[in-house]
Structure 1
Amino acid sequence: MSAARLDMSVYAALIVAGLVAPVLFPNYASQIAVMWLMIMMAVTWDMTGGQMGYNSLGNVIFFGLGMYAAAIVQIGLVFDVAEYTAAFGAIVVEFTDAQYYTGLALGIVAGGVVAAIFALVVGPFMLGLRGPYFAIGTLGLAVAVAELVSGWGYVGGGGGISMPVYPGAAGEGTMVWYALLGVLALAAHLTARWLYSTQFGLAINAIRDDEDKAEAMGIHTTRYKVLTWAVAAFFMGMGGAVFGNMSGFIEPLEVAFPTTTFGIFMVAMALVGGKGTLWGPVLGAILFHVVKEWTWTYLLGWQWVALGAIIIVNIVYFQQGILGWAQDRWPEAFGLTVDRGTGGTQVEAAE
């Protein structure tokens, strides 16, 4: 089977599984919906961390900004946001169906746009850092933004903010979030696939391999770095907007800007599956999420030990990730040709 047919088969399998899973496992629809969110997070992190070589520990910033942007839009269309949050849930605002769905759609779009704009603004400064300085810088930025939001009374500060309640039946709402996160994960992956197949993908790979040489060849590295981060931010912002509605309550440190959970998970998932590959982050997200849910259910109290052990084994024995290891072992199965010359082994993409 050719690499193109294999890709199409995987897409078809994921779509069929996504459609069938909530029917076969209705009690786990919420957990599977979070898995789609994890896939989107891993794919978007890999845009900068795997394909461009800039390992961010702060992409969760965009997740939280999108969440709060959506909340402001959804509530602000009907009621004064400051008055709503000042009452700490004492005020009950009735949303008509039209108001709710209009606010939800505009809120999701606003979440993506606000996150992308933030990336475009801070990107030229943050992406001037390299290596561990960029990683630590983004982590510090995420913590700083979370603390600033915690003290912003307009959105409820540390007390959080309750989201509008879905107007339909309880089970119906779960399926809506499931569908939105599934479509978002698919859209993020298709966007990444398209970008990597263009000159844009070659440019960010050149930045990863040797940024100084890329600049010497005339590549506008800052432009490509910022745009890549903004694309990732756009999807992360929309993901935050959907997840904020799904959770029903936004709290700055644990829900909107969870640096110690989602912020680390997205990095670990890409590493487990194989960063810098198209399908590695997807594979890593699925495996990581399944193991996470299993350990949270059956190894409560030891779940962090189990997840930490997985990351350690991955870093020590599978530094290229599962898919990277498989590509090295069976390159032809992934559409790669191996040139075994006298000077060593070279792997090239098949025409």
Structure 2
Amino acid sequence: MKSGTLRFALIAAVAVGALQVPWLVPAITAQVTFLWLMVLFALSWDIMGGQMGYNSFGNIVFFGVGAYVCAVIQRDTGLTYFPALAAGVALAALAAVALALVLGPAILALRGHYFAIGTLGLGIAFADGAAGWSFIGAGSGMVVPVFPGSPGTRQMVFYYAMLALALATLLLLRWLYARPFGLALNAIRDDEDKAEALGLRTTRYKILAWCVSAFFLGMAGALAGNLVGFIDPRELAFASSTFGVWMVVMAILGGRGTLYGPVIGAVLFHVTQELFWTYLLGWQRVALGMLIVLIVVFFPDGILGALPAHRREPGHGDAGSLLS
């Protein structure tokens, strides 16, 4: 069996199994829902950090903006729950993309450590801004409208919504990476100055990549806010010290710059984290911190990055071919 066919069969098997989770193991549906969120975090970060070589610590901004935009739409439009949720998710994605377009030209003009520090500052600034804005609850947080059905139905609805979003992210990125867009990102990562000298409009591709990441993170924030039921500016919306760091760690663990590496890293990281929270209560953050250190020290290229056959996903091609 060809590797592409085998990969497709494996993805299909995982998808079919994932569809059965709420029915077969309802007790862990909430945990698996957050697993799909972690997968989306890792995939969306890898667009910039892996494919393009820009280590962003500010992607959490788009997640938080999406959460608040959706909650405000649900609270203030007067629509019933599901129409308001649909409108909120759509507007959350648009708001996140609009923010990426506004911030992109200035932030993406930075490179290397300056870019990383600048994006880290974005997360902190937005968290403090949200904590001081009474319209969205300020530091007290914001309560999301109550789901109209039973708790079991609510859990199932958001499980399938998050699963669909994670799968859509994976499939769209697979398609994009197989196009000139993917080659352009790799060219920027390999040598941005050379890419510019040979005519590649690097700024346009950098902003576009950030917008793609923002699009999915905005929708993820909208769904996560409703899943949790309460939006705290620092603990959920703009949680730079947790979600913002985890998305980087998960991509590195699985192998950044690959398509399936971030997925593998997200699964391993989330499962390990759940085990820590179950069996090391009271020491779970210490164990998680040590895990992050071990990942960075012993898996700098990730699990897939350590395997020569998987260092470049099929369809990525050679960045040099785009510049020749």
Q: TM-score range by the shorter chain?
A: over 0.9
Listed one character per residue, the Cα deviations across residues 296-319 of structure 1 (whole Å, up to 9, x for unaligned) are 110112222322333222222221
The structure richer in helix per residue is 2
Q: Pick from 169, 181, 201 the counterpart of residue 150 of structure 2.
A: 169
Q: Could you tell me how far apart the structure 1 residues matched to 2:9 and 2:116 are?
A: 36
Matched residues in 1 for 2:255 and 2:284: separation? 23
Contact 2:305 2:311 in 1 (8 A): no
Match of 2:302 among 321, 329, 341: 321
Q: Verify: 1:252 aligned to 2:252, yes or no.
A: no
Q: Secondary structure at the match of 2:240?
A: coil
The percent of aligned pairs where both chains have the same amino acid is 51
Tell me: CA distance 1:150–1:44, structure 2 relative to 1, closer, same or farther (3 Å): same
8 A contact 1:3–1:335 mirrored in 2:
no
Residue 267 (structure 1) aligns with: 248
**Given the alignment of the two structures, is residue 182 of structure 1 paired with residue 138 of structure 2, yes or no?**
no
Post-superposition CA distance 1:56-79 (Å, at most 9, x none): 01110001000000011111111x
**RMSD of the TM alignment (CA)?**
1.8
Alpha carbons 2:257, 2:312 under 8 Å: kept = no
Distance apart, 1:167 and its partner CA: 0.3
Larger Rg belongs to:
1
- The residue identity in structure 2 corresponding to 1:15 is A
Equivalent position of 2:318 in the other structure: none
Mean CA deviation greater in 14-23 or 220-229: 14-23
Matched, 1:17 2:38: no
C-alpha distance in structure 2 between counterparts of 1:66 and 1:285, whole Å: 21
- The answer to whether the aligner puts 1:113 opposite 2:87 as a matched pair is no
Report the CA distance shift for 1:148/1:288 in structure 2 as closer, same or farther (over 3 A).
same
Structure 1 alignment gaps of length 5 or more? 79-97, 337-347
> What is the CA deviation profile of residues 50-102 of structure 1, one whole-angstrom value per residue up to 9, with x for unaligned ones?
00000101110001000000011111111xxxxxxxxxxxxxxxxxxx71110
Q: Tell me how far 1:11 sits from its aligned partner.
A: 1.6
Cα offsets for 1:174-231 (capped at 9, x unmatched): 0001001000000111111111000011001000000000001101100000010011
Deviates further, 57-66 or 315-324: 315-324
SS at match of 1:261: helix
Separation in 1, partners of 2:310, 2:225: 41
Question: Residues 304 and 310 of structure 2 are in contact (CA less than 8 Å); yes or no, is this contact kept in structure 1?
Answer: no
* Counterpart code for 2:194: K
| Preserved contact between residue 249 and residue 295 of structure 2 (Cα < 8 Å) | no
Are 2:253 and 1:305 aligned? Answer: no
* Equivalent position amino acid for 2:149 in 1: G
State the Cα deviation string for residues 1-53 of structure 1 (Å, max 9, x = none): 32311320232122112112222210110110000000001000000000000
Q: How many residues align?
A: 316
**For each residue in 1:240-260, what CA deviation from the matched residue of structure 2 results, as whole angstroms up to 9, or x when unmatched?**
000001111111111111111
Gaps of 5+ in 2: 316-320
Give the conservation status (yes or no) of the 8 Å contact 1:2–1:333: no
1:47 and 2:57 matched: no
TM-score (norm 2): 0.94
Any conservation in 1 of the 2:253–2:303 contact (CA below 8 Å)? yes
Query: Contact (CA 8 Å) 1:3, 1:333: kept in 2 or not?
Result: no
Partner residue, 1:72: 72
Residue matched to 2:177 = 196
Equivalent residue runs for 1:217-232 within 5 Å: 217-232=198-213
Mapping of residues 233-248 of structure 1, within 5 Å: 233-248=214-229
Task: Give 1:157's aligned amino acid.
Answer: A
Which whole-Å CA distance do the structure 1 matches of 2:163 and 2:198 have between them? 40
Preserved contact between residue 36 and residue 181 of structure 1 (Cα < 8 Å): yes
2:258–2:313 Cα contact (<8 Å) kept: no
For 1:240 and 1:286, the matched residues in 2 are separated by 19
For residues 288 and 331 of structure 1, the distance between their equivalents in structure 2, rounded to whole angstroms, comes to 20
Who is 2:261 aligned against? 280
Residue 9 of structure 1 aligns with an amino acid whose one-letter code is A
Rounded to whole Å, the distance in 1 between the matches of 2:253 and 2:284 is: 17
The one-letter amino acid of 1:55's match is N
Runs of 4+ in 1 over 3 A off after TM superposition: 330-336
User: Aligned partner of 1:236: which letter?
Assistant: L
Quote the residue 1:7 is aligned against: 7
Amino acid at match of 1:116: V
Report what 1:213 is aligned to: 194
2: CA distance, partners of 1:334 / 1:62: 27
